[in-house]
Amino acid sequence: MGPKGRRIVRVIEVLYDALNAFKVLPSLGPLVRLPLPNVRRFERASHEVDVVLGHAIERRRADPGPWVVGDLMPRDGREGLSDHQIRDHLVQLFGGHRPARVTQSWTMHLLAKNPDIQERLKEEIDSVVGDRLPGGADYPHLEYTRKVFSEGLRFYPPVWVLTRRVIRDLQVSGGTLPSGSIIFISQWVIHRDPRWYPDPERFDPERFSEEVSADRPEFAYFPFGAGDRDCVGSPFAWLEGVLLLTLIVQRWSISSVPGFEPEPLMRVNIKPRRGMLLTLERRK
């Protein structure tokens, strides 16, 4: 990633941080019209994103080239997207690094706490990948690695709560949610429901074996959302997450730092409040 890409990533980090209260609590939406510090930071960051991405889109309209912006533009008789739509797609693309980074940090923490699982994971990686770089063709064969990543997402999903607006009166548990209501659906809570995950605080990748998960309700697990509003990037997130985990464990042995225990900080993503400290030892 070049200097401009890194600049956009830094600015989008500001957007994420400024959005925290308004994203999680939609009832606070009217506050975005007040000159609050978070609102001002968001407006400055949003303006900078518009300027930088606007220039990139303008250049690609003249010369689309083999780049993602060009693929989103109309050409060769194909209908493309507006500049505003392309801008929104690029923000999602650049912003996607943050949940991926946070998820891998928590999964490594869980592996450090469970060396037996880490060792079994390493055995599969040695068998499937060996010493070469993992690639997309390896993904279907990394069965245990996918289970480990799935369990990591159960513990620490990229987003810990979703909000949805009720579009018609809905009967729930003997009561009525009127049309227009805002409801909160928390992966953090549902992923720890002992009805679906016995001993939920135990790290156990075998929860995601076909036999164990067969009777689990469809919406008892939704790290990237679910239904019509499922995250459009979830297929890439699965591929990226599994292959990155493979690459890390292939090369490094992960252990905890004595006396350090990460504390979840509930923002848009579940961040470690004081960062993540781990000991990595190069594998021979």
Q: Per-residue pLDDT tens for 27-37?
A: 555 666 677 77
15/240 Cα distance (integer angstroms): 23
Residue that is last in its domain, among 59, 78, 95: 95
The answer on 86 and 113 residing in a single domain is no
Which one is predicted more confidently, 105 or 231? 105
What pLDDT sits at residue 26? 52
Residue 197 domain boundaries? 97-282
Calculate the alpha carbon distances from 185 to 115, 159, 196, 204 in Å: 33, 11, 16, 24
Could you give phi then psi for residue 62, rounded to 5 degrees?
-75, -35
pLDDT at 144 exceeding the cut of 60: yes
Which one is predicted more confidently, 108 or 57? 108
What pLDDT sits at residue 35? 73
67/184 Cα distance (integer angstroms): 38
The answer on 158 and 59 residing in a single domain is no
Tell me the range of 175-179, 201-205, 212-216, 234-238 where mean pLDDT is highest.
201-205
Average pLDDT over residues 38-63: 77
CATH number for the domain spanning 264: value is 1.10.630.10
Beta bridge partners of 256: 278
For helices 97-113 and 3-24, give the axis angle rounded to 10 degrees. Answer: 80
Report the Cα 54 to chain-centroid distance in Å.
26
What pLDDT sits at residue 62? 72
For helices 234-251 and 143-155, give the axis angle rounded to 10 degrees. Answer: 110
What pLDDT sits at residue 195? 95
What pLDDT sits at residue 148? 98
pLDDT at 170 exceeding the cut of 70: yes
Dig out the tokens for 91 from the structure: 């923000």
For helices 115-128 and 97-113, give the axis angle rounded to 10 degrees. Answer: 120
Which percentage of the chain shows pLDDT scores above 90? 45
The answer on 89 and 101 residing in a single domain is no
Q: What's the whole-number average pLDDT of the chain?
A: 84
What pLDDT sits at residue 183? 87
271/99 Cα distance (integer angstroms): 9
The answer on 144 and 26 residing in a single domain is no
106/153 Cα distance (integer angstroms): 9
The answer on 63 and 105 residing in a single domain is no
Other Cβ atoms closer than 10 A to 202: 10
The answer on 118 and 66 residing in a single domain is no
pLDDT digits (tens, 9 = 90+) for 211-266: 999 989 989 999 988 877 777 678 888 999 999 999 999 999 999 999 999 999 88
Number of domains in the chain: 2
